[in-house]
Each structure stands twice: as structure tokens, then as C-alpha cells.
Amino acid sequence: MSTTLHPSFQPMFDIVLARNPGEPEFHQAVYEVMHSLAPLAEERPEYAQWSILQRVCEPERQIIFRVPWVTDAGQVEINRGFRVEFNSALGPYKGGLRFHPSVNLSIIKFLGFEQVFKNSLTGMPIGGGKGGSDFDPKGRSDNEVMRFCQSFMTELYRHLGEYTDVPAGDIGVGAREIGYLFGQYKRITNRYESGVLTGKGVSWGGSRARTEATGYGTVHFAEAMLGVHGEDFDDRTVVVSGSGNVAIYAVEKAQALGAKVIAMSDSSGYVVDETGIDLEVLKDVKEIHRGRVADYADAVGPRARVITSGSIWDVPCDIALPCATQNELDDTQAGTLVGNGVRLVAEGANMPCTPGAVSVLRDAGVLFAPGKASNAGGVATSALEMQQNASRDAWDFETTAGRLQEIMYDIHDTCLATAEEFGSPGDYVVGANLAGYIKVADAMVAMGVI
């Protein structure tokens, strides 16, 4: 697989490097998309005329702000808040908020850039953005999390609106945090604007199946990929990295399709359960008690073992679902997966595979699903939540889950057809990047220089 850019794109990438120094994650995301766009250099000259690629790489708005808050001990803490409103050609900015110590401008920009094309692929009328803070909710009391969220929203609210920018959750931002954020927004604005945040509780404007959507969507996409080759999940051995929302519900859907999930991880290590992960125990440990994978092993007894060295990708499997965080699977680990006979890798997190890992997997003929396609189930269901809020309606679980499955299969078919159209049959990376980009670019051409 070539790793060089089309000659007409290299100067643009050099500008991105110069304008955004010290932002390696953003550089990586931009390069990965640019690398797939070579067919458009000759076939869509109007994009160059309108400088579409340069404009896509420059966020429409970048907001950085101070977030002061008070601990339970009375200590004033200061964190940094971000919201990057990347592109609104297809609709209001849409993308999650991440609360994690690793959050910086580069990570938020890479996530926002990816979100533009991911949202485009859903077929829903939503643009792309991302936000968050370097605040760590782990180990904080509910009152401390509430005070932080209220301070964060006191600044961010002025930039939001159901027709402007609609955040959701991400790492470190779950139902608790969304509740505190929405409450403060409502308090400040004196409006019950349900569509301004997604991931809300079902009893106050949320959508059924939203919690499950990203994990379910990843497995649906992988299921569609296998189906092209007359295969399915039944009796497959699966390894899932992470043990948060995405990972848990990827496990749930994979098990429902007949797979055996034998390993999961968190920041403390990974657990191997050759008999198959006990989903109910996992949910109790992670969702109720906020515990570690070692607590899962303690709960199920000697059938499971905890490993704190090496990598979860050392565990042999048929299907690997990286669902933890960016750049968690490198080229060496990809080589181990290939050597152990992996058939399919589908990204449940945002850009969890390094460029080297992607090259190893694709060169080895492993079916590979990029996150901007296979991770799109969460934002697609968020858009369905916005739709329900706009119509003052609430759908049952089966209706929303059915729509989610249709959307993921449509994304799969779009990626496959686009890759075929542009001379890269079966290449989901090329198909996802081209299909997502073309839709955004056509809208930008139509709207003029703005």
C-alpha cells in the first residue's frame, strides 16, 4: 500500500503541519484522509478551484476556555475546556465531549475532523465537531463532577443550540455528566431545549438504544463485512479492548450473534475468560461499581485470569474490536494478530489503529473497518434522538435499534460501492474517506466561499 500523498495534496498537508504545530493526532487524521483522495484530483477539479480540501482542514471555529471549580475540600481547581466546531456544511455541529486527562487541542481537532466524515456517512443532516476537557472524573464525587459540569457549561452554553451545535458524550462523559450539563444549560437559558444535547436520560428526552448504539453499530458493520463473504459471527472468537460503554455493548451484540468474547481490557490490564465473558457480571462491575477488570476476575473466579503486562492483542482471536482509545493498536500488535489468524478488525473507538497497524492488516488481507464508518452508530442514534426531540416523540427500543441497523448496513454498502467506483474494490478505508468527503465537498461548493 502506498504511503505517499498525491503531488497536488502534499503542499496542502505541509500547510496543515505549519499551521498546527505540535498536534500529531490531528496531523495523522488529516494525512489518512488526504491519502485516500487521490482519485478526486483529476475527477473533481472543481474541488481544487474552490479550495475545498484546505477549507475542510481548517476548523470553522475553535473555542478554548478556563473551567474553574471547587472540590469537596474547598480547593479551587482549574481545567481547560475545548469545543472545536469543525464543519457545518451538512448541518449543525455534532460530536461528543470527552473528559480525560489526555485531552488537548490536537486530540479534540483529530476527533472533530474524523467526526465530519463519520457524520456525513450516516446520511443524517449533521455537521462535525468535538469538545471536552482535561478534567478527570475518575475518583471524583458526584458533587465534584456536578460542580465541574456546571462551570464547563456556564461558558460553553453560549456556543450551543439545536440548530448550531449539539454535543453528546464520549470518554468520561456518560449519563451522569450529560444530566448535569443539560441541567445547567436549562438553568442559564430558561429553555427546555431537548435537542441541544444528546445522550440524555430516556425519561427526559433521551433515545432508547443510544447507550448501546456505538457498540451495536460496530458489530453490525462487521456483520455486514462478513456477510459479503458468506460468513457471520457464529462460533467466532472475539477480543474487545476497553470495557466502557462501546466495548460492553459490542460484547452484548457479538454474543447475541453467536460469538464467544474471551478478553476485555482497561487501563490496568486485560482479563481473559476462555469460557466467554459473563456480560451481566461485567455490567455490574463496570456500570454499577465502576470497578476494574480485576474485579471481574474476582467475581467469576478461576475461570478468568488478569494480565497486567503485554497487550490484549496477544490473545488469539478471529475478530478483534479495538474499542478503547486512539492509537491503542500498533504495527507490532497488528502483526501478532495476523500471525494468530485474525480474520477481521473493526474499529469501535476513534482511530484506535496506528497507520502502521492499518498497513499491516490491509497488506495481510485482513478485513478492516475504519472507525469513521464502523464507529458511526453512536452519532447516528444521536441524530435519531434529535429527530425525536424535534417532533416531541419517543420511539421504542426496537424501532430505534432497527433504524440503527439499517443505517450501519447503508454505511457499509456506501463504502463498498464507493471503493469499487474509484478503483479500490473491497477497501473500506478508501471507500469511507471518499464517500464521506464527497458529500461534504459538494455541499461546500454549493454554498460558496464561506
- Inform me whether the pLDDT recorded for 436 exceeds 70: yes
Q: Is 94 marked as binding a ligand?
A: yes
Residue-wise pLDDT tens digits, 356-378: 999 999 999 999 999 999 999 99
Distance CA 255, CA 252 (A): 5
pLDDT of residue 3: 62
Q: According to the model, what pLDDT value does residue 390 have?
A: 95
- Model pLDDT for residues 70-94, shown as the tens digit of each residue: 999 999 999 999 999 999 999 999 9
Reduced to 3 states, what is the DSSP secondary structure of residue 289?
coil
pLDDT for 290 equals 87
Kindly report, residue by residue over 155-208, the tens digit of the pLDDT: 999 999 999 999 999 999 999 999 999 999 999 999 999 999 999 999 999 999
| Residue 227 marked in a binding site | no
Give the length of the chain: 450
- Please state, as a whole number, how many other Cβ atoms lie within 10 Å of the Cβ of residue 67: 22
Q: Furthest-apart CA pair in the chain: how many Å?
A: 64
Please report, for the chain, how many H helices and E strands are present, in that order.
Answer: 18, 12
- Average pLDDT in the 47-63 region? 97
**Percent with pLDDT over 70 in the chain:** 99
CA distance 122 to 170: 18
Q: Which pLDDT belongs to residue 234?
A: 97
Which pTM was predicted? 0.94
The percent of residues above 90 in pLDDT, for the chain, comes to 98
Q: What is the pLDDT of residue 4?
A: 82
- Tens-digit pLDDT profile for residues 196-232: 999 999 999 999 999 999 999 999 999 999 999 999 9
The domains located in the chain, with CATH, are 10-56 (no CATH), 61-192 (3.40.50.10860), 212-374 (3.40.50.720)
Q: Does residue 391 have a known ligand-binding role?
A: no
In this structure, the strands spanning 237-241 and 61-70 are unpaired
- Helical residues (DSSP H) of 229-364, grouped into ranges: 245-256, 279-283, 293-300, 331-339, 355-363
In this prediction, residues 327-347 reach a mean pLDDT of 98
State the Cα–Cα distance between residues 112 and 359, nearest whole angstrom. Answer: 23
pLDDT, residue 1, reads: 41
Contacts of 35 (CB under 8 A, 6+ apart): 2, 3, 5
- Residue type present at position 425: P
What are the tens digits of pLDDT across the range 240-255? Answer: 999 999 999 999 999 9
> Average of pLDDT values for 6-10?
92
> Is there a binding annotation on residue 169?
yes
10 Å CB burial of residue 288 (0-12, 13-18, 19+) is exposed
Q: Give the other-Cβ count within 10 Å of 192's Cβ.
A: 11
Are the beta carbons of 129 and 165 closer than 8 angstroms? yes
**What whole-number distance in Å separates Cα of residue 385 and Cα of residue 195?**
8
- Cα separation, 275 vs 273, in Å, equals 5
- Backbone torsion region of residue 51, taken as left when φ is above 0, otherwise alpha when ψ lies between -120 and 50, otherwise beta: left
Q: Which three cell numbers stand for residue 16?
A: 496543515
Known catalytic residues?
130
- From the list 217, 255, 164, the residue with the least C-alpha distance to 375 is 217
**DSSP code at position 288:** I
Specify the residue for cell string 470495557: 243
Residue 219 near residue 344, CB atoms below 8 Å = no
Q: Grid coordinates in use for 231?
A: 460468513
115 is in an annotated binding site: yes
Q: Could you tell me where the DSSP H helices lie in 209-264?
A: 210-228, 245-256
What residues contact residue 352 under an 8 Å CB cut-off, 6+ apart? 241, 322, 323, 324, 325, 326, 327, 328, 329, 371
260 is in an annotated binding site: no
